Amino acid sequence: MDGISDTPLRVGLIGYGVAGSFFHAPLIAATEGLTLDTVVTANPERQRQVASEHPGARTVADPGELLARADDLDLIVVASPNRTHVPLARRALEAGLPVVVDKPLAATAAEAEELDALADRHGLLLSVFQNRRWDNDFRTVRSLIGDGSLGRVLRFESRFERWRPHLKGGWRESGDPAELGGLLYDLGSHLVDQALTLFGPVVSVYAEADVRRPGAEADDDTFIALRHAGGVRSHLWMSATTAQLGPRFRVLGSDGGYVKYGLDPQEAALREGLRPGDGTPWGVEPRSLWGRLGEGESPLTGGGDPVPTLPGDYPAYYAAIVEALRTGGRPPVTAAEAAATLRVLEAAKSSATEGRTVTL
């Protein structure tokens, strides 16, 4: 990593499943200052997909082949299954390369802290891809809290709910603890990270985690209640069994509330093959989906005033990674922040299993 210049930084991407192909590869390719050099996938169909979608990138079948060329790379991105995050990040750091890891960074806060210490000893960047900090609705909530539009926030409600009554299969739905499947570590990683970003440390955690669908092995209907040190209470829902979806956000403050339905459009756009910078507005949603700010009746009946939703901005994450690598500055999401999120997720798992509130 000595002597990084203004030439594009060469990225090795490990994994070309959902995370690698829909999120990381397109965003890396769209980021000024980065070039997708190599993709690790042993799947022949995915290798052909890489050749079609990113013709300048090479493919290799094994992470060892990638790390053997450490001197030819400037950044490793780990977008492989959750159980591989820690060992692959460790190998990349020991090879002298900065690392971005898809969430969750690890199974436990202790593992995350160990990786953070390893990166620090080697003087290397270690960051976690918490892209939902750049969702349009979350950016809007953060702005409303920051400018005092809500007064003092009392309660924060956040939902990632889906209606998926039939199992899709794969490691994300596995009941094997080593796989880190289930919604607590999947969607919960985003919801808890957002709550901590807005309101800071948590002092108590209560959770309910259920396995609802026939044949399911991992939690698919989970709720977490957090009490922050500053007094805010966060209620977080994640579910694959919700036939009627609730609001994405409901934020209640001393001077008013904000309610927002619908999901940020960036994931859908990426899945459809759209790319940042392709000439169409990025992360923008129609007025009909704007949230409402005020008091009284539900927004569904016209209560409150419409608030323009700030554009979503996933590209900002990798732009900040480039800046941090070139300047030696702080990455957009740190391993210490990931460890704080994992500490809450571990407490939530214990709470749901033991039927008690966990104090941190």
pLDDT tens by residue, 278-325: 888 999 999 999 999 998 776 666 678 999 999 999 999 999 999 999
Do residues 166 and 275 share a domain? yes
pLDDT of 13 > 80? The answer is yes
Same-domain pairing of 165 and 303 = yes
Give percent above pLDDT 90 in the chain: 91
The pLDDT-based confidence of 2 (bands split at 50, 70, 90) is: very low
Mean pLDDT in residue range 242-248: 97
334 found inside a domain: no
Res 3: pLDDT: 44
Q: Is residue 144 part of a domain?
A: yes
Q: Is the pLDDT of residue 342 over 60?
A: yes
Domain boundary among 87, 115, 130: 130
Does 162 reside within a domain? yes
CA 129 to chain centre: 5
Banded model confidence at residue 170, pLDDT cuts 50, 70, 90: confident
Helix (H) or strand (E) holding 114: helix 109-122
Which of 70-84, 164-178, 202-216, 333-347 shows the lowest per-residue confidence on average (mean pLDDT)? 164-178
Last residue in a domain, options 115, 130, 145: 130
- Record the tokens describing residue 158, joined without a space: 């956040």
Torsion sign (Cα): 201, 206, 211, 217: positive
Q: Which residue bears the tokens 């039927």? A: 355
Rounded-to-integer distance, Cα 185 and Cα 341, Å: 10
Cis peptide before 306 (omega within 30 of 0): no
CA 10-335-220 angle, to 5 degrees, is 100
pLDDT, the chain, mean: 95
DSSP code, position 61: S
State how beta strands 34-40 and 58-60 pair.
Answer: parallel
What would the mean pLDDT of 2-12 be, rounded to a whole number? 79
pTM attached to this predicted model: 0.95
Q: Are 120 and 198 members of one domain?
A: no
Beta bridge partners of 238: 160, 222
5 confidence band (pLDDT: 50, 70, 90): low
Contact 85, 65 (CB under 8 A): no
pLDDT surpassing 50 at residue 144: yes
CA distance 13 to 10: 10
Q: Is the pLDDT of residue 108 over 90?
A: yes
Residues 43 and 89 in one domain: yes
Categorize the per-residue pLDDT at 4 as very low, low, confident or very high, splitting at 50, 70 and 90.
low
Buried residues in 192-217 as b, exposed as e (16+ CB within 10 A): bbbbbbbbeebebbbbebebebeebe
Residue 280 has a pLDDT of 86
Rg (CA), the chain: 20
How many structural domains is the chain composed of?
A: 2
Average pLDDT over residues 230-253: 97
Q: Which helix (H) or strand (E) holds 14?
A: strand 9-14
Q: What residue numbers bound the domain in which 85 lies?
A: 9-130
pLDDT at site 178: 86
In this structure, are 117 and 190 located in the same domain? no
Q: What is the CATH number of the domain that holds 248?
A: 3.30.360.10
| Amino acid 308: pLDDT | 98
CA distances from 335 to 116, 136, 157 (A): 6, 24, 25
The pLDDT score that the predictor gives to residue 298 is: 65
Judged against a pLDDT cut of 90, whether residue 220 lies above it is answered with: yes
- Clarify whether residues 168 and 230 are in a common domain: yes
- 186 with 124, same domain: the answer is no
Query: What does residue 77 show for φ and ψ, rounded to 5 degrees?
Result: -115, 125
What is the percent of the chain with per-residue pLDDT over 70, rounded to a whole number?
Answer: 97
**DSSP-derived secondary structure letter, 151:** -
Here the CATH number for the domain that contains residue 120 is 3.40.50.720
pLDDT at 143 over 70: yes
Q: Residue 2 domain-assigned?
A: no
Place of tokens 């299969």: 169
In this predicted structure, what is the pLDDT of residue 1?
Answer: 46
What six digits make up the tokens of 38?
Answer: 């190599």
pLDDT at 80 over 80: yes
Span 329-351, mean pLDDT?
Answer: 98
Helix H or strand E segment including 206: strand 202-210
139 and 119 both lie in a single domain: no
* Rounded Cα gap, residues 96 and 250, in angstroms: 44
pLDDT tens-place string over residues 17-51: 999 999 999 999 999 999 999 999 999 999 999 99
pLDDT value at position 172? Answer: 86
Is 336 a domain residue?
Answer: no
